[in-house]
Amino acid sequence: MTAPAEPPPGRPSLAPDARPPEARAVLDGLLEHLLNGVAYCRMEYTDGQPSDFLFLYTNPAFHSQTGLADVCGKHISQIVPGLRQTDPALLEIFGRVARGGQPETFVMPVKSMAEWFSVSVYCPHPEHFIALFDVVTERKKAEAALEDRARQLRFVLEGSELGFWDWDIATGKVERNPQWGHMLGYTFEELQHTAQQWADFVHPHDRERAWASIFDVVEGRSAAHKLEYRMLHKDGSIRWILDQAKVMQRDGHGKATRMCGTHTDITERKLLEEELRRQAHVDYLTGIYNRRHFMERAEQELSRAHRYAKPLSMLMLDIDHFKQINDRHGHKVGDTVLKAVADLSQATFRDVDIVGRLGGEEFAALLPETDQPAALEAAERLRATIANARIPLPGAPPVSFSVSIGVSSMDSPEDNIDALLQRADKALYKAKDSGRNRVCGRDGKA
């Protein structure tokens, strides 16, 4: 994007010079109604280092998100004193990009404003930068519960550039910029200027929802369209898009005649969110449920068993002499044994059964609608399967291993998960005391 030759009075136009005046007006209007904050600034340097910047233009969202007013024509040092001392990293990024560096996208706290910002910044011409941002403080607070797992991961909410679209509703023609197509793997020449092409690119499962959101705005039921949905990439992959738009023009009868919006590729953020959800439920080594999620699922099944008066059984299993396996063959082989136990458990039990790793070499399985005899039979089947398994070693005999299993079953409506686990744990110790590689129920018999 290049700087306009002669920006109109009051605020500069940020549209490319090559566009016709009406398209430039649409883009200016788009910025005015954009839900992201936008700031156009001139960078200043002292002894070659970024030291301050002057606001040349800000959109309404800038003021609503930051709470700052009347900033145009003022330096950041006037508006937020001390920013240079408290947030040098922010100045460094702006200064680097304003010198013609590559566009950058980042999420960081601005200490002097006591807020977290998600920012995309690029250089329209030397010593100037345009920053597009959202205040994401509330989102960062919501992520605190996952901070232990996500500390080294970073959300990237938006790409460094936006795809925008301008829909003439009366004619059905849609003008798009090249970036709109590039997000989906298409060149500008491959784009068709129709709403139908957009609909064809939207994932079939999201298409109805996306149209509904747009028509809610067109027909005046909603003020703005803001929706995350999937689109089909040219290479067959799926891209997640944040689509934001507003009706820009209506006729004398209030009928919408023009709608403009932006596309932001948020695929990376979506993948990261999915990974965080997976990590919150799954044991990192074995791929089965971790202790916390196993207990949550177990509580759900226990409630269902009480509600419908169905039987329920709990198995606890422990790998016999696991420390010796680690000491003799190394932790890598030990990890392989842990994964094998998890895999064999899932292969042996039914899809409705719940398997989890409680910690170390200890596993548990909850068997819905299963009484004590059936649970003992399932446990014995698993024990025999594991006893016959072998872990191959290069240049050495394969490693064999076994498990001891304790079984308990629900006896009364007052039973809870802790009671089932305690009884299964006692039965497990009976199995170990009886020589290991065996199954014991509550009465100590297989």
CA distance 364 to 173: 60
CA distance 141 to 290: 25
Q: List Cβ<8 Å contacts ≥24 apart for 175-178.
A: 175/23
Q: Which residues contact 85 (CB under 8 A, 6 or more apart)?
A: none
CA 184, 189, 195 angle in degrees (round to 5)? 65
| Closest of 44, 118, 122, 121 to residue 83, by C-alpha | 44
Please check whether residue 357 is in contact with residue 286, taking contact to mean a CB–CB distance below 8 angstroms.
Answer: yes
134 is written with which tokens? 């959202």
The two beta strands, 256-265 and 225-232, are unpaired
CA distance 230 to 397: 51
**Integer CA distances (angstroms), 161 to 57, 104, 119, 157, 158, in order:** 19, 10, 11, 12, 8
H-run or E-run covering 153: none
142 is written with which tokens? 């919501």
| Burial (0-12, 13-18, 19+ Cβ within 10 Å), 210 | buried
CA distance 77 to 81: 5
CA distance 139 to 133: 14
H-run or E-run covering 406: strand 403-409
Residue type, 318: D
208, 219, 361, 414: the active-site residue: 361
Please check whether residue 163 is in contact with residue 147, taking contact to mean a CB–CB distance below 8 angstroms.
Answer: no
Please indicate whether residue 369 is annotated as part of the active site. no
58 is written with which tokens? 């800000």
Residues with catalytic annotation?
A: 361
